[in-house]
A and B are shown apart, each in its own frame.
Chain A
């Protein structure tokens, strides 16, 4: 089977940097992706890592280590609007199903 673990909640102050970790167990691996979801809204795609290393997109970066079955999402220069839930996700062995983690709720304080 496949499973993902991420912290349930993280709190940080405006302007700071926060890292949200994700560890996974999969029978096959097709990359790790991250989605953001504001309360009551639709998840939106943030990033995808197929290979080891860091991917940077503006204030957001995502890292993957396949040997450690581990990845993280790094949010810099935090803004109040970044308060949301963040989900890591992997595709299953067949490549068509995406398995989501339970999500990390980020609270950004002034």
Chain B
């Protein structure tokens, strides 16, 4: 079955450490997205990519970086510059076009040690 896989499910980061969250999809979707969700809040866009080797900043990109070397993969790195990284991170993908719904992974919960 096609879907989006995020790993790990839980991640702990030490102060000053970079960590990378994995997102892989086998839905053959061109577009991929990273969102951050804080408790009781909506989803805020970090980065998005419409095509391989291209990506754009979302609303809260500071302290994060991404790459899109393959269509199937869109890893997110949370750098030490992100001072409040504790959150639930969701990856999504969609077809491009007039409107295509986003399909989400199960998320990664990041906490600071």
Binding site for B on A (CB under 8 A): 30-31, 33, 35, 40-45, 48, 50, 87, 91, 96-103, 105
Complex interface: chain A residues within 8 A of B90 (CB): 42-43
A40, A48, A97, A100: which contacts B99 (Cβ < 8 A)?
A48
Residue of B nearest to A88 (CB): B42
Complex interface: chain A residues within 8 A of B58 (CB): 97
With A42-B105, A42-B106, A103-B42 as contacts: A96 and B99 at CB distance below 8 Å: no
Complex CA–CA separation, A87 to B44 (angstroms): 12
In whole Å, how far is A40's beta carbon from the nearest beta carbon of chain B? 8
Whether, in the assembled complex, B86 has its beta carbon less than 8 Å from a beta carbon of chain A, the answer is no
In contact, B106 and A102 (Cβ under 8 angstroms): no
In whole Å, how far is B66's beta carbon from the nearest beta carbon of chain A? 15
Closest 9 CB pairs of A and B: A45-B101, A42-B104, A102-B42, A100-B43, A100-B42, A43-B104, A42-B106, A103-B42, A31-B99
In contact, A33 and B101 (Cβ under 8 angstroms): yes
With A96-B50, A97-B58 as contacts: A43 and B43 at CB distance below 8 Å: yes
Complex CA–CA separation, A62 to B33 (angstroms): 25
Complex interface: chain B residues within 8 A of A50 (CB): 98-99
**B interface residues, tally (CB under 8 Å):** 26
- Residue among A91, A97, A101 with the highest chain B CB neighbour number at 10 A: A97
In contact, A97 and B42 (Cβ under 8 angstroms): no
Complex interface: chain A residues within 8 A of B84 (CB): none
Whether, in the assembled complex, B103 has its beta carbon less than 8 Å from a beta carbon of chain A, the answer is yes
B43, B48, B102, B106: which contacts A45 (Cβ < 8 A)?
B102
In contact, B42 and A44 (Cβ under 8 angstroms): no
Contact with A along B42-59 (1 / 0, CB 8 A): 111100101000001010
In contact, B99 and A87 (Cβ under 8 angstroms): no
In contact, B31 and A87 (Cβ under 8 angstroms): no
Complex interface: chain B residues within 8 A of A100 (CB): 35, 42-44
